[in-house]
């Protein structure tokens, strides 16, 4: 969401920024301006009429107390007239607000000036590199290595076949030492971020309401990327439906079937059915939840609908959770292995700060916190500054960390750290008060992966592979794996 007053005052700045996101998108400013004008006109009209109603209602009370019925009747007529105006203006207000919100909620955040212009990942700019890729002769990819490794019971430690049978494509079951290594990675990351970087560990809900996703920006535009868990109340729906059906039949009977054409009956029935189809799909009989696509959603929503104490900022949260993504639109990409799954684990970092200056400093800090994980695992990586076309909707500036994958002879994304300004805060109504007595201000939010656990496992397997197909356990993970040095 955006500050409508800022758009009014600087329409050209918004126009230019949205055009940087996507050529032509800035023209939306004209529509916003039109709807905003209509909205304010309607609001003013309504308020004027409400004033008339309120004042006269008080006078009515006084007139009645004085037993002046004639005066009371005269005033009541005035109020009745005002109410018509209120109703009409109210409808116009709701219509304009609906159109305006629909536009505003669907627009992406404004990229900061230092973000490079670009259409897709080709436009991203490398910022730095760390570590030297190790020379590996004929490196195998993680899937081949993982499937070849056997658990004590003789099953693949990276068991795609079994997972696919029960859940379909893009799922995996880790078994034995590899499963433990994934847990070790998560524990290591969490200990680092909480113990050394000051993040508070959170165990959040994994199912959230649509409002939470609207808050962080995944909705309304990207519902196809999410897994939705529905729970339709069919008993209540059909009970209500039958009542409406009976009522309509009664209505026909009252009119008399001789006085109504079969065409009219058909029309009326269809209309009723269409209405109920709409209700069927609405939230009225359904209370859906979404599986979180990232812990950014619950962690950021921790501050929703609040006025925080400014002296406590910044707040830093971390959580290790599964993430669920439908991966609609990525058919055919990364179909082999664990790079792109419907379910994966991730350690997420979220920071709540007070303004842009603090936010940009925090972005550097947060990215550093993510990089530290890779450094301690001794995995080569590079830092990319994302271009305007490759950033997520909520972001104003994003760094991606890409880890070296020997099998692909390239760097692959393993973390993404974003500064979101007050974009999410406005959608969530998350504010803070600098000092007692001062106006509340919107907080600024950041989120980043610290790191994607599944992909880190992939990187460890590939970078620590040995000629014989065994995997050397990185030093920092050994304490978490009972001292195990090699997975074979």
Binding site for RNA (CB under 7 A): 4-5, 40, 43-44, 46-48, 50-51, 53-58, 60-61, 64, 76, 79-80, 83, 287, 307, 431, 436-437, 439-440
H helix and E strand count, the chain: 14, 18
109 closest CA partner among 352, 447, 419: 419
Distance CA 189, CA 172 (A): 22
Tokens of 41: 């006109």
Distances from the Cα of 155 to the Cαs of 159, 160, 177, 221, in angstroms? 7, 11, 12, 42
Those residues whose C-beta lies under 8 Å from the C-beta of residue 194, and which sit 6 or more positions away, are 200, 201, 318
Closest distance between RNA and the C-beta of residue 428, in Å?
14
Task: Indicate the residue among 10 and 44 with the shorter CB distance to RNA.
Answer: 44
Backbone angles phi, psi at 403, to 5 degrees: -100, 150
Radius of gyration of the chain (CA): 29
Task: Indicate the residue among 60 and 149 with the shorter CB distance to RNA.
Answer: 60
Task: Indicate the residue among 71 and 334 with the shorter CB distance to RNA.
Answer: 71
Distance CA 445, CA 395 (A): 10
Sign of the alpha-carbon dihedral angle for 233, 324, 184, 147: positive
Closest distance between RNA and the C-beta of residue 37, in Å?
8
Task: Indicate the residue among 265 and 307 with the shorter CB distance to RNA.
Answer: 307
Tokens of 398: 């994003």
Distance CA 404, CA 381 (A): 6
Task: Indicate the residue among 170 and 431 with the shorter CB distance to RNA.
Answer: 431
Distance CA 101, CA 113 (A): 26
- DSSP letter assigned to residue 141: P
Closest distance between RNA and the C-beta of residue 446, in Å?
22
Distance CA 38, CA 273 (A): 34
- DSSP letter assigned to residue 112: P
Task: Indicate the residue among 60 and 360 with the shorter CB distance to RNA.
Answer: 60
Closest distance between RNA and the C-beta of residue 82, in Å?
8
Task: Indicate the residue among 169 and 229 with the shorter CB distance to RNA.
Answer: 229
Closest distance between RNA and the C-beta of residue 103, in Å?
16
Distance CA 189, CA 318 (A): 10
Closest distance between RNA and the C-beta of residue 32, in Å?
13
Task: Indicate the residue among 40 and 183 with the shorter CB distance to RNA.
Answer: 40
Closest distance between RNA and the C-beta of residue 108, in Å?
21
Closest distance between RNA and the C-beta of residue 437, in Å?
5
Residues in the chain: 488
Task: Indicate the residue among 85 and 472 with the shorter CB distance to RNA.
Answer: 85
Task: Indicate the residue among 367 and 424 with the shorter CB distance to RNA.
Answer: 424
Closest distance between RNA and the C-beta of residue 304, in Å?
14
**467-476: b (≥16 Cβ within 10 Å) or e:** eeebbebbeb
Closest distance between RNA and the C-beta of residue 96, in Å?
11
Rounded to a whole number of angstroms, the distance between the first and last alpha carbons of the chain is 52
Find the angle CA(445)-CA(449)-CA(452) to the nearest 5 degrees: 160
């Amino acid at each position: 969401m955006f500050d409508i007053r800022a758009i009014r005052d600087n329409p050209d700045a918004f126009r230019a920024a949205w055009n940087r996101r996507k050529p032509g998108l800035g023209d939306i400013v004209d529509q916003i301006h039109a709807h905003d004008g209509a909205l304010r006109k309607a609001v003013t009209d309504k308020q004027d009429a409400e004033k008339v109603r309120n004042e006269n209602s008080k006078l009515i009370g006084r007139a009645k107390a004085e037993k002046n019925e004639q005066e009371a009747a005269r005033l009541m007529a005035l109020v009745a007239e005002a109410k018509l105006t209120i109703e009409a203006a109210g409808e116009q207000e709701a219509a304009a607000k609906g159109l305006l919100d629909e536009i505003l909620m669907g627009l992406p955040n404004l990229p900061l000036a230092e973000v490079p212009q670009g259409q897709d990942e080709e436009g991203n700019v490398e910022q730095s590199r760390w570590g030297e890729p190790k020379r590996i002769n004929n490196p195998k990819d993680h899937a081949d290595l993982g499937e070849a490794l056997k658990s004590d019971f003789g099953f693949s430690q990276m068991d795609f076949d079994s997972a696919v049978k029960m859940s379909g494509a893009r799922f995996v079951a880790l078994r034995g030492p590899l499963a433990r290594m994934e847990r070790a990675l998560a524990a290591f990351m969490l200990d680092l971020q909480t113990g050394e970087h000051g993040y508070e560990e959170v165990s959040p809900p994994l199912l959230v309401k649509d409002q939470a996703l609207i808050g962080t920006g995944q909705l309304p535009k990207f519902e196809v990327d999410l897994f939705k868990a529905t729970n339709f109340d069919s008993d209540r729906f059909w009970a209500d439906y039958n009542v409406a059906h009976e009522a309509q039949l009664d209505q026909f009977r009252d009119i008399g079937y001789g006085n109504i054409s079969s065409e009219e009956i058909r029309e009326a029935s269809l209309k009723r059915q269409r209405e109920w189809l709409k209700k069927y799909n609405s939230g009225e009989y359904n209370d859906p939840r979404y599986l979180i696509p990232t812990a950014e959603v619950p962690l950021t929503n921790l501050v929703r609908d609040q006025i925080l104490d400014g002296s406590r900022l910044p707040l830093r949260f971390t959580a290790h959770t599964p993430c669920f993504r439908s991966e609609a639109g990525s058919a055919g990409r990364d179909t082999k292995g664990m790079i792109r799954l419907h379910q994966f684990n991730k350690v997420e970092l979220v920071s709540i700060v007070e303004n842009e200056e603090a936010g940009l400093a925090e972005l550097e800090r947060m990215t550093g916190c993510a990089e530290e994980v890779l450094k301690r695992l001794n995995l080569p990586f590079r830092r990319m500054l994302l271009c305007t076309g490759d950033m997520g909707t909520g972001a104003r500036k994003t760094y991606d960390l890409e880890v070296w994958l020997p099998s692909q002879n390239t760097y692959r994304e393993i973390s993404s750290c974003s500064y979101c300004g007050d974009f999410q805060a406005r959608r969530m109504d998350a504010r803070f008060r600098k000092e007692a007595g001062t106006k509340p201000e919107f907080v600024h939010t950041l989120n980043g992966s610290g790191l994607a656990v599944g992909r880190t496992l992939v990187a460890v397997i590939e970078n620590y592979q040995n000629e014989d197909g065994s995997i050397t356990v990185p030093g920092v993970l050994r304490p978490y794996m009972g001292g195990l040095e090699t997975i074979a």
